[in-house]
């Protein structure tokens, strides 16, 4: 953990180092992934069976098929504690409502001059959702990825989830059912991404693949991009907390740790204008690191990537926040909306003393799939927009074409495109 002050002579260099702390953990697996994709393209299901047997340690056969049946999902859900299903349902309802509120309207510009214009939104036909297996299987991520797709109007939503040793995660299946997933396939890795992009005898191809995964999954998404759409490839998670001295240091410390416990490469940063408060938070972090179940991971993240920045005023904090462009931003000051109004770059913001970021991970309603690694400068969190696309249209009558056609002819001629010019001129 670094403790730096904007009043320090070396501040700019230290802050620049934080900005460039890529925390990149990518392994190069291009060739292995290319081979897997080729196998699935040429052999289809046979390759899926072979690769699943090899990587997941179980063999699909007559008794367990590649596709998880509705009866299997029903049976799994009965094993989930009812209170947990209620929590999942509350989360799903709230996520659904917030994403429904985002749905854009079509645009029609009637055009008094004989040229009507418009823009129409359509949902994608089919989407593939990658869900990691084993310990990285987060039911909340199933909701966050699947619900926006269904709200957007995607009819077919095929989920793939590896089942190492054949074991299914009942809460993941419950989330899939609640979120409206239409198919669940017991496959994972690059082979699952290839199957979604290219299709096999059993699995129909989709138009876009979303969802988090390991290095193989990320590389497979890169390689199928163009054939299908993909979501952005998420890096390690991060939080930036702006907090004044009137906060409970234990609360802020736990918020920092909630981020740090995700991953050794995660990053938690506190910006405050109160030196004594900063020190109190650091002490509370140390205390928390004695007892937290994931203290090994959180401790390493805090030690390697954590930072506390002491500013002279909130003006400075705004500037640093816009340079950091954090994935998650908590603002715990007396008027958080006023400060937030001046932030141009952040994936998601959590305002006030009663809005820990973790509330947004599960139940608040906005999406928790967010741009990491300073990419909120140009990228956004997952939303209904990821599952919609636009078609613009133009409808001119003879008068409309007469009004604007000559300018098109002139420009086409200047660009040396004779048939373009002629296709307009011939109608004038």
Binding site for NAD(+): what residues are annotated? 130, 191, 214
The tokens describing 428, both together, are 């004038």
CA pair distance 275, 282, nearest whole angstrom: 11
CA pair distance 111, 20, nearest whole angstrom: 50
- Residues catalogued as catalytic: 327-328
Q: Which of 64, 250, 300, 316 binds a second copy (CB under 8 A)?
A: 250
Q: What is the CA 257 to chain-centroid distance, rounded?
A: 21
* Residues within window 119-158 making contact with a second copy, judged by CB under 8 A: 119, 122, 124-125, 135, 138-140
* Residues within window 378-407 making contact with a second copy, judged by CB under 8 A: 378-381, 383, 385, 389-398, 400-401, 404-407
Q: Which of 14, 18, 77, 408 binds a second copy (CB under 8 A)?
A: 408
Q: Which is nearer to a second copy, 334 or 406 (CB)?
A: 406
| Closest residue by Cα to residue 320 from 268, 373, 242 | 242
How many chain residues interact with a second copy (CB under 8 A)? Answer: 118
The tokens describing 92, both together, are 């799903």
* Residues within window 256-275 making contact with a second copy, judged by CB under 8 A: 257-258, 260-262
Site for a second copy contains 86 (CB under 8 A): yes
Rounded to a whole number of angstroms, the minimum distance from the CB of residue 27 to a second copy is 16
Task: State the Cα torsion 254-256-258-261 to the nearest 10°.
Answer: -120
Question: Mapping DSSP to helix (H, G, I), strand (E, B) and coil, where does residue 347 land?
Answer: coil
Site for a second copy contains 416 (CB under 8 A): yes
* Residues within window 306-365 making contact with a second copy, judged by CB under 8 A: 336-337, 340, 343-365
Q: Which of 57, 104, 164, 245 binds a second copy (CB under 8 A)?
A: 104
Rounded to a whole number of angstroms, the minimum distance from the CB of residue 5 to a second copy is 26
- Answer yes or no: are the C-beta atoms of 204 and 126 closer than 8 Å: yes
| Closest residue by Cα to residue 270 from 258, 262, 410 | 258
Q: Which is nearer to a second copy, 6 or 375 (CB)?
A: 375
CA pair distance 111, 103, nearest whole angstrom: 25
Question: Mapping DSSP to helix (H, G, I), strand (E, B) and coil, where does residue 367 land?
Answer: coil
Rounded to a whole number of angstroms, the minimum distance from the CB of residue 54 to a second copy is 28
């Amino acid at each position: 953990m670094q403790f730096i002050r904007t009043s320090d002579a070396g501040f700019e260099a230290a802050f620049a180092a934080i900005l460039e702390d890529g925390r990149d953990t990518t392994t190069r697996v291009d060739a292995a992934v290319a081979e897997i994709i080729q196998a699935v393209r040429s052999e289809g299901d046979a390759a899926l069976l072979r690769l699943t047997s090899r990587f997941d340690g179980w063999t699909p056969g007559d008794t367990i098929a590649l596709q998880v049946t509705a009866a299997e999902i029903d049976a799994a859900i009965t094993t989930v504690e009812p209170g947990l299903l209620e929590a999942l349902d509350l989360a799903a309802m709230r996520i659904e409502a917030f994403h429904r509120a985002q749905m854009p309207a079509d645009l029609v510009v009637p055009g008094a001059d004989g040229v009507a214009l418009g823009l129409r939104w359509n949902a994608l036909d089919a989407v593939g959702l990658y869900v990691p297996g084993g310990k990285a299987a987060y039911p909340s991520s199933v909701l966050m990825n699947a619900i926006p797709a269904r709200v957007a109007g995607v009819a077919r939503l095929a989920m793939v989830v590896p089942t190492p040793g054949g074991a299914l995660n009942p809460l993941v299946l419950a989330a899939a059912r609640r979120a409206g997933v239409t198919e669940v396939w017991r496959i994972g890795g690059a082979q699952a991404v290839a199957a979604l992009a290219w299709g096999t005898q059993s699995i129909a191809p989709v138009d876009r693949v979303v969802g988090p995964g390991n290095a193989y999954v990320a590389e497979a998404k890169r390689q199928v991009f163009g054939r299908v759409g993909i979501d952005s490839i998420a890096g390690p998670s991060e939080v930036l907390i702006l907090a004044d001295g009137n906060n409970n240091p234990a609360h802020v410390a736990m918020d920092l740790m909630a981020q740090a416990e995700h991953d050794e490469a995660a990053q938690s940063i506190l910006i405050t204008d109160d030196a004594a408060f900063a020190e109190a938070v650091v002490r509370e972090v140390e205390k928390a690191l004695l007892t937290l179940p994931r203290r090994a991971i959180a401790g390493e993240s805090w030690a390697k990537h954590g930072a506390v920045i002491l500013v002279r005023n909130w003006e400075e904090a705004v500037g640093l926040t816009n340079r950091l462009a954090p994935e998650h931003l908590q603002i715990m000051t007396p008027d958080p909306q006023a400060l937030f109004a001046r932030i141009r770059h952040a994936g998601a913001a959590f305002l006030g003393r009663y809005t820990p970021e973790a509330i947004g991970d599960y139940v608040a309603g906005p999406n928790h799939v967010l741009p990491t690694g300073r990419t909120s400068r140009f990228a956004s969190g997952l939303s209904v927009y990821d599952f919609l696309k636009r078609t613009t249209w133009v409808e001119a009558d003879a008068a409309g074409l007469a009004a604007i056609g000559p300018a098109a002819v002139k420009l086409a001629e200047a660009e040396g495109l004779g048939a373009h010019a002629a296709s307009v001129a011939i109608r004038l």
